[in-house]
Amino acid sequence: MNAPLARLLLLTGLAPLSLSAAGKDSCLDCHASLSGSLQEPVARFANDIHRQAGIGCATCHGGDNTSTDPKISMSPARGFTGKIARTKVPALCAKCHSDAGYMQKFKPQQRVDQFAQYQTSVHGKRLAAGDAAAANCVDCHSVHDIREVKNALSPVHPLRLPETCARCHASATHMAGYKLPVTQFEEYRTSVHWEALSKRRDLSAPSCASCHGNHGAKPPQATSVAAVCGTCHALQEDLYKKSPHQPVFSGMGVAGCVACHTNHGVQSPSEKMLAGDGAVCVQCHDAESAGGKVAAGMHGLIRGLESSVARSSAILLRARVAGMEVSDSLLRLQEAQEALVKARVAVHAFRTDAVGQPVKEGMKIAEQSFRDGQSAMQERDVRRAGLAVSLIAILITIAGLWLAIRRIEARRMEPQER
């Protein structure tokens, strides 16, 4: 066995399966013995999903992979195209990936409209117009070592997708010609969505493609942003659509949710957005205006419920530390927490009475829990009082015993003294 082939076998680690189902692959054999960028694809190809499906180099690059003579294997007469031009990549991939009959042989459920979507995207349109710098298939999916999306090493796996988009979209040099900002990735990395994805490993959390689309990537229109956010935040979208903000914002061409929450660096919202330092409402509404009053009203209601829940929680925890069993009450307090969540969601109706409803329910529960805490502390006091009573009885008995001992021993002494 020649050395290059041995190296190849070692690299692939699958000696009997090292060759594609189609048989010997002279492309891999030869290129394995080359160096630099001509050899690199061979090593990467070991991990490629196409290789596992029995598809070899010649399928994309043309040529004859049964011949070891370069004049034959890389002859244009045999269809050899060499390195594929960037602008031609999507059409080439689409030759198989848009062929429903062909894809059914490998993955019947796999979509076959990626190319069609791509052509509607900003990337696709620019590429079609001749801009070779625009993103094509291999920019995101990699080339020669293409892995499935669900493989954690794939550049388009949910956990890695943002950094893949950022390769271009966070590069000032790359974006210079397009007049696009490059702060999105940095902003996204500060967001709650990225925290959910990266820290909690919640793969359902949104990243770039969730809102912008993947193959048909383009930013959503201002009027449809709320619908995009509403795929997960359905309640908020519902309320917003019926609220006074919706017609105003869409008339102004302002994107619904983004106006207050920003788009990429979405932070954990709180009632601080309604009033006080860093409030968002004041950016448009005067404090004295109708809108300003609603903002202040909602803020006050939510703050009120928050402090009531905190007060109840504090007294229950104090009771627990004092040894009282309050787990049932603490659990019921959870419902007040849920009412708080509902109240915060209700803000999106931008009406004081909409927030007032869940706040009222929450206050009822929080106040009941506070009373539970108070009675737990009272019970503790009753126990201590009971203890005091029994301790007094005990002390009296001990005193009586001691006096009895003294009396007995004094008496016993007397006869001896006599």
Smaller CB separation from other proteins, 247 or 400: 400
3-state secondary structure 59-76: HHHCCCCCCCCHHHHCCH
Instruction: Compute the distance between CA of residue 211 and CA of residue 200 in angstroms, rounded to an integer.
Output: 20
Phi, psi of 317, deg, nearest 5: -65, -35
Q: Looking up tokens 């969540």, which residue turns up?
A: 341
Smaller CB separation from other proteins, 252 or 393: 393
Query: Minimum Å distance from CB 209 to other proteins?
Result: 15
Instruction: Compute the distance between CA of residue 139 and CA of residue 124 in angstroms, rounded to an integer.
Output: 13
Smaller CB separation from other proteins, 27 or 349: 349
Q: Is the dihedral of CA 307, 311, 312, 313 positive or negative?
A: positive
Smaller CB separation from other proteins, 335 or 367: 335
Instruction: Compute the distance between CA of residue 192 and CA of residue 234 in angstroms, rounded to an integer.
Output: 18
In one-letter notation, the amino acid at residue 113 is: D
What is the distance between the terminal CA atoms of the chain, rounded to a whole angstrom?
A: 124
CB neighbour burial string for 237-263, b if at least 16 within 10 angstroms, e if fewer? bebbeebebbeebbeeeebbbbbbbeb
- Contacts of 142 by beta carbon, 8 Å cutoff, 6+ apart: 154, 155
Neighbours of 232 (CB within 10 A): 13
Query: Minimum Å distance from CB 265 to other proteins?
Result: 19
Smaller CB separation from other proteins, 232 or 248: 232
Query: Minimum Å distance from CB 298 to other proteins?
Result: 19
Query: Minimum Å distance from CB 127 to other proteins?
Result: 33
Query: What are the residues binding other proteins (CB under 8 A)?
Result: 202-205, 230-235, 323, 325, 327-328, 331, 338, 341, 345, 383-384, 386-387, 389-405, 407-409
Q: Which of 384, 383, 336 is nearest to 359 (CA)?
A: 336
Smaller CB separation from other proteins, 9 or 377: 377
Q: What is the CA radius of gyration of the chain?
A: 36
Smaller CB separation from other proteins, 45 or 240: 240
Instruction: Compute the distance between CA of residue 102 and CA of residue 55 in angstroms, rounded to an integer.
Output: 13
Smaller CB separation from other proteins, 176 or 401: 401
Query: Minimum Å distance from CB 171 to other proteins?
Result: 31
3-state secondary structure of 351: coil
Query: Minimum Å distance from CB 300 to other proteins?
Result: 24
Q: H or E element: which one contains 299?
A: helix 290-321
Smaller CB separation from other proteins, 138 or 330: 330
Query: Minimum Å distance from CB 99 to other proteins?
Result: 29
Query: Minimum Å distance from CB 263 to other proteins?
Result: 18
Query: Minimum Å distance from CB 234 to other proteins?
Result: 4
Q: Does residue 161 contact residue 209 with C-beta atoms inside 8 Å?
A: yes
